[in-house]
Structure 1
Amino acid sequence: MQTRTLGRNGPQVSALGLGCMGMSAFYGAHDDAESIATIHHALERGFNLLDTADMYGPHTNEVLVGKAIKGRREQAFVATKFGIVLDPGNPQARGIDGRPEYVRAACDASLKRLGIDTIDLYYQHRVDPSVPIEDTVGAMAELVTAGKVRYLGMSEASGATLERACKVHPIAALQSEFSLWTRDPQENGMLAACRKLGVSLVAYSPLGRGFLTGAIRTPDDFEANDYRRNSPRFMGDNFDRNLQLVEKVKALAADKGCSPAQLALAWVLAQGDDVLAIPGTRKRSRLDENLGALQVRLQADELAAIDAVFSPGAVAGRRYTDAGMHMVNV
């Protein structure tokens, strides 16, 4: 496993982490026993960055991760998030809460579910536009002082918001969707702001929510309760157009002698030593495949060839519905 520095003068963490969301939510049926075995396998292979959030499940994913790291705490660098509030009566309804009192309560609840004394990296999952970011980050900073949190992060925050946050307390990481088919951090100034402020970019969904692996061929490959069925990029003509892009990735990967997933991950990691990726998987076999991406070295001409066939504007459809897009780059 390769390691990268988290933030400016921060800890060394695995360049590839493990996104745990799909083990409990959004992607259809799940098997807790296999998920725990996958987390154990990840830790044994050097994946120490485990990513979860209180809204995954909700809550059950943190409980799962807590069970998996019991007795293995020293091997894991645990990242979790707060801020997205779900309506128990309407799974599709979501709110955002960045009030200081909510920050404190959410942290205590996450610590209990995870069964740990300190969260290694605590993210604000989405920015609450109704609460000054200085107030939210101020409350997060108090958690560091109290020893409940080691490092602070933000997710899907704009460069301007990130800069304001860093004036209150150092931010170690900014999490954002970033992949061959989601170039937003490069296009909206988010990555530039990170580099100016000494903040690492943690790329979630670096495999395009599984699409860039080449394993998804038709919308029927998704289970009935898989949220991707209602995601713009996976619907109607968008699906067919994006599948054509995946075919090009598969061809490039074949030329390189690696899998499409390995090529896609290698591309993300090649964007800079300050970029980390947290591909999600529920299977040990996929985990080992992802690990192989670290052996894929992309030269400048190969990166140019990838961009030529999968240009930033080539993807069809937005990455979220309108409601979801209103919650990013705030």
Structure 2
Amino acid sequence: MPFLVGKEVGPTGYGTMGMTWRPQPPAQEVCFETLNTTLELGANFWNGGELYGTPEYNSLHLLNKYFTKYPENAEKVVLSIKGGLKKGVLIPDGSEENIRRSVDECLRLLDGKKKIDIFECARQDPQVPVEQTIDVLAQYVKEGKIGGIGLSEVDAGTIRRAHKVHPIAAVEVEMSMWSTDILENDVAKTCAELDIPIVAYSPLGRGVLTGAVSSLADIPEGDIRHHMSRFKEENFQQNLKLINEVKELANRKGAAPAQIALAWVRSQSGRPGMPTIIPIPGGTTKDKVIENMSGTQVLSDAELAEIDAILKSNVVAGARY
């Protein structure tokens, strides 16, 4: 399976997404402690990006510093990096010129401290056929500069077209009890058929499935969620029903709501007609990583059936974006 690019994903099957953009990123020492904790607990699929931060300081700069300090960990990590946007703005640009700029810049920032095992464009440029973009990235694979090619937020047809040009190592899409779209739109089905793992981002439903959000007042000012349809008052009151049902199940099981949410995502992995699924919950502190990766790891058939019933009776209101 090309996704593994010579490495194995840790026994927990978790990745870490602690390198995403945040308005006030934690101190470097806290980041390093968090990253070390993920490795100690077996989460060695790390997801970063050129877009997580600014051109002057983003997750690639942080990774360079981390692997400079801990060079022995470089070979333990499967590193997936997102790029392919116009420099400094969240606009996709799949032109050969920009794809090369993006990959070359990511390689420059890592400075050989860590290989890029998977490179993926954060979004597919609608103005450029995916075949052209993948062909450019395939040249980097052939030259040994990146280990494999990923896709992010794409539909089933795009996955098939891209895979014909070059084997796709992984497809990163949103998946949680809060966002089950890929189970219904053929993305999961296509990945299973082509033996492509899914990297599930926001497996905690943008934080709401942690139990920390019981009202919109719990979301800080300036948080991007305030601009999302699902967090508009009329939709959120409907969506709160699902959140509360998950919290109630967690209480009965003696687990944290986040552990239930992650266990559900993991339970979908490898089921009949389903691909391997690797959840990448965010975690900026050691304690949060430990909570996400401990406690409930397996849900019983009865609990899965209960969650299925919860999802059917509490349809999430509002679009993802």
Give the match for residue 219 of structure 2. Answer: 222
> Which of 105, 108, 111 is matched with 1:112 structurally?
108
Separation of aligned partners in 2, 1:225 and 1:214: 20
Distance 1:108 1:87, change over 3 A: closer
Structure 2 SS opposite 1:12 = coil
Tell me which amino acid in the other structure corresponds to 2:111: G
Separation of aligned partners in 2, 1:312 and 1:61: 40
Distance 1:312 1:73, change over 3 A: farther
Give the match for residue 310 of structure 2. Answer: 309
1:84 Cα deviation after fit: 2.8
1:86 Cα deviation after fit: 6.1
> Which of 278, 281, 284 is matched with 1:282 structurally?
284
Q: CA-to-partner distance for each residue in 1:183-232, whole Å, 9 max, x for gaps?
A: 11111100001011111011000000111000122323233232112122
TM score, norm. by length of structure 2: 0.89
Tell me which amino acid in the other structure corresponds to 1:188: N
Separation of aligned partners in 2, 1:120 and 1:9: 7
* Structure 2 residue 80 is matched with structure 1 residue 85: no
1:151 Cα deviation after fit: 1.4
Structure 1 SS opposite 2:183 = helix
Tell me which amino acid in the other structure corresponds to 2:38: A
Give the match for residue 17 of structure 1. Answer: 15
Deviation larger for 5-14 or 207-216: 5-14
Q: How does 1:171-182 map to 2 (within 5 A)?
A: 171-182=168-179
Separation of aligned partners in 2, 1:166 and 1:65: 29
Give the match for residue 296 of structure 1. Answer: 297
Structure 1 SS opposite 2:168 = coil
> Which of 118, 122, 125 is matched with 1:125 structurally?
122
Separation of aligned partners in 1, 2:19 and 2:182: 21
Which ranges in structure 1 are unaligned for 5 or more consecutive residues?
89-93, 321-330
Give the root-mean-square deviation of aligned CA atoms: 2.0
Separation of aligned partners in 2, 1:278 and 1:6: 19
1:236 Cα deviation after fit: 1.3
Partners of 1:13 and 1:49 within 8 A in 2: yes
* Structure 2 residue 95 is matched with structure 1 residue 99: yes
Distance 1:101 1:147, change over 3 A: same
Separation of aligned partners in 1, 2:54 and 2:88: 10
Partners of 2:118 and 2:147 within 8 A in 1: yes
TM score, norm. by length of structure 1: 0.87
Structure 2 SS opposite 1:85 = coil
Structure 1 SS opposite 2:237 = helix
Q: CA-to-partner distance for each residue in 1:46-74, whole Å, 9 max, x for gaps?
A: 22111011111134122123222332312
Distance 1:6 1:252, change over 3 A: farther
* Structure 2 residue 257 is matched with structure 1 residue 257: no
Separation of aligned partners in 2, 1:191 and 1:135: 24
1:259 Cα deviation after fit: 1.1
Q: How does 1:151-162 map to 2 (within 5 A)?
A: 151-162=148-159
Structure 2 SS opposite 1:149 = coil
* Structure 2 residue 160 is matched with structure 1 residue 193: no
Separation of aligned partners in 1, 2:309 and 2:2: 31
The percentage of counterpart residues that share the same residue type is: 36
Partners of 2:242 and 2:314 within 8 A in 1: no
Partners of 2:171 and 2:198 within 8 A in 1: yes
Structure 1 SS opposite 2:120 = strand
Structure 2 SS opposite 1:13 = coil
Separation of aligned partners in 1, 2:16 and 2:215: 26
Structure 2 SS opposite 1:172 = strand
Structure 2 SS opposite 1:252 = helix
Which ranges in structure 2 are unaligned for 5 or more consecutive residues?
271-275
Structure 2 SS opposite 1:153 = strand
Structure 2 SS opposite 1:118 = coil
1:121 Cα deviation after fit: 1.0
Q: CA-to-partner distance for each residue in 1:10-61, whole Å, 9 max, x for gaps?
A: 6421310001344x42xx4222332222112212222211101111113412
Separation of aligned partners in 2, 1:9 and 1:301: 37
Partners of 2:7 and 2:78 within 8 A in 1: no
Tell me which amino acid in the other structure corresponds to 1:97: D
Partners of 1:206 and 1:278 within 8 A in 2: yes
Give the match for residue 273 of structure 2. Answer: none
Q: CA-to-partner distance for each residue in 1:237-274, whole Å, 9 max, x for gaps?
A: 22222222111001111222221100100000110231
Deviation larger for 40-49 or 181-190: 40-49
Tell me which amino acid in the other structure corresponds to 1:270: S
Separation of aligned partners in 2, 1:306 and 1:166: 33
Structure 1 SS opposite 2:128 = coil
Structure 1 SS opposite 2:284 = coil
Separation of aligned partners in 2, 1:17 and 1:159: 23
Give the match for residue 235 of structure 2. Answer: 238
- Aligned residue pairs: how many? 307
Question: Which has the larger share of strand?
Answer: 1
